[in-house]
Amino acid sequence: MISFVAAVDQRGMSTARDDRDRDQEDELTIPRASINKMIKEFLPTIRVANESRELILNACSGFIRFISTEANRICTQQQKKTISADHVIQALEESSFSDYASKAKETLVDCKAVAAKKRRQSTRLENLGIPEEELLRQQQELFAKASRGAKKRSMHLSFF
C-alpha cells in the first residue's frame, strides 16, 4: 500500500486526506469470497496462502482506487460530472496500465451487448401486441379461476 501511495504521489496527485476518509477507504474492499473464487478459477491446482490472498485483495483494491482517481481527473478536466467508460479507458491508456486498455475495450463491447440483450428481453411484453389493460384483465381472470378451483377442492375435501 505504501508503494502504491508513493507512485500516486510521484504522478503529482493529491493524497491529503483526514483520518476519517482513510478509515473509510480502508474498509472499502472487494469481497474476499470474490477474490477466493477468482483465485480458485485461475489457479485451481495451486494452494494460495491467506497472506497472499490478502495481498492480492489489497492490490486489486489499490488498482481500482488508482484507475478511479485517474478517470475522475480526466472527467473533471473535460468538465463532465459522470465518469464514463471512455474516461476509464483513457486512464488506463495514460497510466502504466496501458496494456489493459484493449482488453477493457473488448469487455466494454461485451457489456454493451449483454445490456442490449436485457433491454430487448424487458420489452417482450410490449412486443406481444396486447394492450396492458387486456393483459391485466387476463391476469385477473386467471386469478379468479384459480381461486374458484381452490374453493372447489376445499369443499370436496370437507365432505370426507
Q: Is residue 118 domain-resident? A: no
Q: Is residue 113 domain-resident? A: no
State the residue range of the domain holding 135: 126-158
Q: Is residue 23 domain-resident? A: yes
117-140 pLDDT per residue, tens: 887 776 666 667 788 888 889 999
- Check whether residue 15 and residue 92 sit in a common domain: yes
Residue finishing a domain among 85, 100, 115:
100
* Total number of domains in the chain: 2
Q: Are 94 and 82 within 8 A, CB to CB?
A: no
Q: Is residue 150 domain-resident? A: yes
- Check whether residue 27 and residue 78 sit in a common domain: yes
Q: Name every residue whose Cβ is closer than 8 Å to that of residue 8 and which is 6 or more positions away in sequence.
A: 15, 66, 69
- Name the residue with higher pLDDT: 147 or 17: 147
- Name the residue with higher pLDDT: 116 or 120: 116
CB atoms within 10 A of CB 8: 17
- Check whether residue 69 and residue 29 sit in a common domain: yes
Q: Is residue 117 domain-resident? A: no
- Check whether residue 9 and residue 88 sit in a common domain: yes
Q: Is residue 111 domain-resident? A: no
Q: Is residue 116 domain-resident? A: no
32-53 pLDDT per residue, tens: 999 999 999 999 999 999 999 9
Q: Are 32 and 57 within 8 A, CB to CB?
A: yes
